[in-house]
Amino acid sequence: MPKSLLILLGPTGVGKTDLSIYIAKYYNTEIISCDSRQIYKEMSIGTAVPDQQTLETIPHHFIRSHSIHDYYNASKFEIEVLEKLEVLFQKKDVVLMTGGSMMYIDALCKGIDDLPEVDEELRKSLMARMESEGIESLRNELRYHDPVYYSEVDLRNPKRILHALEICLMTGSPYSSFRTNISKKRDFNIIKLGINRDREVLYHRINQRVDQMFKEGLEKEARSLFPFRHLNSLNTVGYREMFDYFDGKMTLEEAKERIKANSRKYARKQLTWFRRDPEITWFTPDMKDQIIAFADQQLALGKLNLE
């Protein structure tokens, strides 16, 4: 059988974890997590990392594997996952990847443009500037060096502003000049399985999950990370709001409601992104038999196409 990667994707809180265990058991395989925050070992409660029993049921990769102090992005994820797949495909014909991080999924499926390696000292100096002068200073400099990318980038995303400016300053060329948007060819099949629920049900699950995070100790976890709040890894839902609470900008109850609202907003953003991809076949989490039947069919077709 040709090597194949199943990708189980969908919005936050939809129920990917339980379904991924079911699929992984069926194919006797291992799971690669595609969650840009569960990858950090210091962030467990606020990122809804699966419990230890679940993690021990099926081997998982890229969960609690890095530190918040590591500089990490979709490009590094692409490189590391391809290396891991090379190892896994030596013993498995099918590997399952699951998660909802849109950029990370695209990086693995389509590849990211080959960019120069950024000088560590330059990165540190820019991060120091961002901390002392604010993101607006870096935005203005990016606009000067690369007005094309400035006009299309999400100006609220410090990670993208920082990375683009690093490339501009290091190479003397606009970051946009390195972007080709040409998909890379993979030497394995990719089958994308999308999971969604009725909107009201999804929102209720998200709200319940936030309540559960607080019961499990989200406040304590966030407080332990408060000294590092300037790190990009902590610029995420569940922690930003708690940091504002610690700064006295809102009450604890307001922070909790803000986390729920921002989590629902993120789910909408994920779905908008995923719906642009015609390669995704959509199911509901209770359609286990249909999902397996479809995956089996696609795996068989992939085998025929390569014979």
pLDDT digits (tens, 9 = 90+) for 71-88: 888 888 999 999 999 999
The answer, yes or no, to whether residue 31 has pLDDT greater than 90, is yes
CATH top class, domain 4-112+182-306: alpha beta
The answer, yes or no, to whether residue 173 has pLDDT greater than 50, is yes
Which residues lie closer than 8 Å to 90 by C-beta, 6 or more apart? none
Which residues lie closer than 8 Å to 199 by C-beta, 6 or more apart? none
Question: In this structure, are residues 149 and 175 in contact, taking their beta carbons and an 8 Å threshold?
Answer: yes
Cα separation of 175 and 177, whole Å?
A: 5
89 or 168, greater pLDDT: 89
Task: Tell me phi and psi for residue 292, to 5 degrees.
Answer: -65, -40
Question: In this structure, are residues 174 and 168 in contact, taking their beta carbons and an 8 Å threshold?
Answer: yes
4 or 307, greater pLDDT: 4
How confident is the model at residue 185, as a pLDDT?
Answer: 87
How confident is the model at residue 303, as a pLDDT?
Answer: 59
Quick one: pLDDT band at residue 220, thresholds 50, 70, 90?
very high
Q: Helices marked H in 117-251 — which ranges?
A: 120-133, 135-145, 147-150, 158-171, 199-216, 218-225, 240-246
CATH top class, domain 120-178: mainly alpha
pLDDT in tens, 42-69: 999 999 999 999 999 999 999 999 999 9
What is the torsional sign of CA 76, 178, 139, 131? positive
Cα separation of 258 and 252, whole Å?
A: 10
Query: Environment class of residue 36 by beta-carbon count within 10 Å: exposed (0-12), middle (13-18) or buried (19+)?
Result: buried
Average pLDDT of span 243-269: 96
How confident is the model at residue 181, as a pLDDT?
Answer: 67
Quick one: pLDDT band at residue 305, thresholds 50, 70, 90?
low
Question: In this structure, are residues 104 and 74 in contact, taking their beta carbons and an 8 Å threshold?
Answer: yes
How confident is the model at residue 128, as a pLDDT?
Answer: 85
Quick one: pLDDT band at residue 307, thresholds 50, 70, 90?
very low
Quick one: pLDDT band at residue 122, thresholds 50, 70, 90?
confident
The answer, yes or no, to whether residue 306 has pLDDT greater than 50, is no
154 or 100, greater pLDDT: 100
Average pLDDT of span 213-233: 94
Question: In this structure, are residues 179 and 113 in contact, taking their beta carbons and an 8 Å threshold?
Answer: yes
How confident is the model at residue 124, as a pLDDT?
Answer: 83
Cα separation of 89 and 34, whole Å?
A: 18
Average pLDDT of span 22-30: 97
Residues of the chain with CATH 3.40.50.300: 4-112+182-306
Average pLDDT of span 180-209: 92
Task: Tell me phi and psi for residue 268, to 5 degrees.
Answer: -65, -40
Cα separation of 254 and 150, whole Å?
A: 34
On average, the pLDDT of the chain sits at 91
Question: In this structure, are residues 15 and 195 in contact, taking their beta carbons and an 8 Å threshold?
Answer: yes
Residues of the chain with CATH 1.10.20.140: 120-178
